[in-house]
Amino acid sequence: MTTSTRVLLDRSTIYVDGQWISVTGDGAIEVLDPATETHLGTVPIATAGDVDSAVTAAQAALEGWSARSPRERGKWIQRIAEAIDSRADEFAELISREIGMPVHQSRSIQVALAVGDLTAIPEAVEEIAWEQQVGNSIVTREAVGVVAAITPWNYPLHQVTAKVGGALAAGCTVVVKPSEIAPLSIFLLAEVIDEVGLPHGVFNLVCGDGATTGEALVGHPGIDMVSFTGSTRAGRRISEIAAASATPTAMELGGKSASVILDDADIEQAVTVSLSKCYQNAGQTCNALTRILVPRAHLARAERAAAAAAATYRVGHPFDPASTMGPLASAAQQQRVLDHITGAIAVGARVVAGGPTAQHAPGYYVAPTVFSDVTADMAIAREEVFGPVAVIIAFDDDTEAIALANDSEYGLGGAVWSGNQDRALDVARRIRTGQISINGGAYNARAPFGGVKSSGHGREGGQFGIEEFLTYKSLQL
């Protein structure tokens, strides 16, 4: 990174009403490079007054933006997608520096997901019944209003575009608060949106910590809806604040997703692909397949396959072409994951691959790890680790496999593997979760994404992500 580029990462302004403005306080947050533990940039802490300015701008822009046709709004969103794609390498490099994902993966996953979120919108707006006749009523669907979008650090760009795409398509205006751990790519997004010429006040960016900026945003009386992605703990706090003013929320929270491998599946393939879904982004993925459920008769075979698959990962610097897994995003996250690993060993879980040794210091690295001899009551099988750690749990029949998959407070993702697709679908329908991959079925940006139970409520993606930001109005004739 050149000196001139580094200077650009020391931000001192926020984006409000189409302008870069200084915050009213003097607080700032340092952003660290997780691969080197060195300074990457700084961002300002927006005060309650700054949040008020952003919300006021969004309120002023709401009437004009929501009056545009859905098709016109979709065209604006397509322009943003194209602008992001034109600077894909810049986004990928910055995201890799913020969170540590190998840069080739940032380009093919982080940026591609964001572009996919937005390019799905123009077609999705055509799939929504914006107005219909019901008896003597005209029922219309209109924007819920000003949306507070609060997003996490693990997929910093995608988590913003997934919300902003749906909200803007619905006719809402937004105030975005990214995570203070990885906010810099969203400042770049604001630059792109500014260059595209989106009407002022439709998109606004504030930054800061949860206690100062986040709570001021959620509690602001001008916010009509809160869309949050992050930890279950933080989601519950946001829900408490929003409930005081009856502000509706959409929550995409934690996960502990199960990959159910039935006895007629290709065990080696299923284990290998499941681990790839666990280890993506160094395990820092909310719907990661962290529980691998296998038939007891094939347990040893699954362990061998897992050990072999884990050994193929190359942990290293995100800009080393040989690296397939980078560091965790922060020192706190690294310690949390290592504590989970040592805790699992202490209660009898057996290490099949990896273990509690941090690697490649400096940097927040953890070895890709697999446990067996795990019981469903162990913390490693129940709590979201958010790191490259998978557990193998044995079952005796399909009924027990389904019970194990459902034995979780979470319900975000999952997978089922079988040589018989009908059998796989039958099992998948009995698992209580938001989405399930059948025999490696690919992610679909147009399908609804979200969870149940402690994984939250609400959906993102395609028309379903637009509908989340719509409300009904009945005109009685």
pLDDT per residue as tens digits for the range 175-187 = 999 999 999 999 9
Instruction: Report, as an integer, the average pLDDT of 358-370.
Output: 87
pLDDT reading at 231 higher than 60: yes
Query: Which pLDDT belongs to residue 361?
Result: 75
pLDDT per residue as tens digits for the range 68-102 = 999 999 999 999 999 999 999 999 999 999 999 99
pLDDT reading at 4 higher than 50: no
Query: Which pLDDT belongs to residue 19?
Result: 98
Tokens describing residue 69: 């046709």
Among residues 252, 303, 460, 468, the one annotated as catalytic is 252
Cis omega (within 30 of 0) for bond into 44: no
How far apart, in Å, are the Cα atoms of 202 and each of 15, 16, 313?
A: 11, 9, 43
* Pick from 77-86, 352-361, 402-411, 430-439: least confident: 352-361
Q: What's the CATH number for 257-444?
A: 3.40.309.10
Interaxial angle between packed helices 184-196 and 88-99, expressed in degrees from 0 to 180 and rounded to the nearest 10? 160
Question: What architecture does CATH give domain 3-253+456-476?
Answer: 3-Layer(aba) Sandwich (3.40)
Cβ-based neighbours of 151, under 8 Å, separated by 6 or more? 159, 160, 163, 176, 177, 178, 179, 186, 228, 229, 230
Task: For residue 358, name the pLDDT band (cuts at 50, 70, 90).
Answer: low
Rounded Cα gap, residues 440 and 459, in angstroms: 22
pLDDT reading at 2 higher than 70: no
Instruction: Report, as an integer, the average pLDDT of 189-196.
Output: 98
Task: For residue 7, name the pLDDT band (cuts at 50, 70, 90).
Answer: very low
Task: For residue 1, name the pLDDT band (cuts at 50, 70, 90).
Answer: very low
Task: For residue 8, name the pLDDT band (cuts at 50, 70, 90).
Answer: low
pLDDT reading at 16 higher than 50: yes
The CATH 3.40.309.10 domain(s) of the chain lie at 257-444
Rounded Cα gap, residues 315 and 305, in angstroms: 19
- With beta carbons less than 8 A apart as the criterion, state whether 126 and 454 touch: no
Rounded Cα gap, residues 311 and 303, in angstroms: 12
How does the average pLDDT of the chain come out, rounded? 96
The strands making up 203-205's β-sheet, listed across from edge to edge, are: 19-22, 13-16, 203-205, 173-177, 146-150, 225-229, 249-252, 456-457
Active site residue 278: no
CA dihedral 373, 379, 385, 390 (to 10 degrees): 10
The CATH 3.40.605.10 domain(s) of the chain lie at 3-253+456-476
Task: For residue 6, name the pLDDT band (cuts at 50, 70, 90).
Answer: very low
Active site residue 286: yes
How far apart, in Å, are the Cα atoms of 109 and each of 81, 88, 91, 162, 222?
A: 15, 11, 11, 14, 35
Task: For residue 359, name the pLDDT band (cuts at 50, 70, 90).
Answer: low
pLDDT reading at 267 higher than 60: yes
pLDDT reading at 335 higher than 90: yes
DSSP for 90-139, please give it.
Answer: HHHHHHHHHH---HHHIIIIIIHHHHHHHHTHHHHHTTS--EEEETTEEE
Instruction: Report, as an integer, the average pLDDT of 403-414.
Output: 98
DSSP for 325-352, please give it.
Answer: B---S-HHHHHHHHHHHHHHHHTT-EEE
pLDDT reading at 198 higher than 70: yes
pLDDT per residue as tens digits for the range 123-165 = 999 999 999 999 999 999 999 999 999 999 999 999 999 999 9
| Nearest partner of 161 among 95, 70, 64, 77, judged by Cα | 77
Among residues 93, 286, 384, 460, the one annotated as catalytic is 286
Question: Strands 257-261, 414-417: parallel, antiparallel or unpaired by DSSP?
Answer: parallel
pLDDT per residue as tens digits for the range 277-301 = 999 999 999 999 999 999 999 999 9
Query: Which pLDDT belongs to residue 357?
Result: 76
- Residue 30's Cβ-count burial label (10 Å; 0-12, 13-18, 19+) is exposed
CA dihedral 117, 118, 119, 124 (to 10 degrees): 80
3-state secondary structure of 444: coil
Tokens describing residue 109: 């996953």
- Amino acid, single-letter form, for residue 227: S
